[in-house]
Amino acid sequence: MAVSKKILITGVSKGLGRALALELANLNHTIIGCSRDQSKLDSLKPLLFNFSSNPHFLFNVDVVIF
């Protein structure tokens, strides 16, 4: 059995980041993600839990301000 990991993804709400998050959740990894778009994060979270019951953490963050 593979080891479950915690994986940080920036830009998780769309495109490659979203696809990667869903695929990795399907492999039973915990997703820690950030994005600027809260509504897209809200729509992603239930999808992640459909693939894995692990806790997933999604944050509304704009990394440009740092």
| pLDDT tens digit sequence for 14-61 | 999 999 999 999 999 999 999 999 999 999 999 999 999 899 999 999
Query: Rounded to two decimals, what is the model's pTM?
Result: 0.88
- The domain spans of the chain are 6-60
Instruction: For residue 53, count other CB atoms closer than 10 A to its CB.
Output: 10
With a cut of 60, say whether residue 64 has pLDDT above it.
yes
What is the mean pLDDT of the segment spanning 4-18? 96
At 15, is the secondary structure helix, strand, or coil? helix
At 51, is the secondary structure helix, strand, or coil? helix
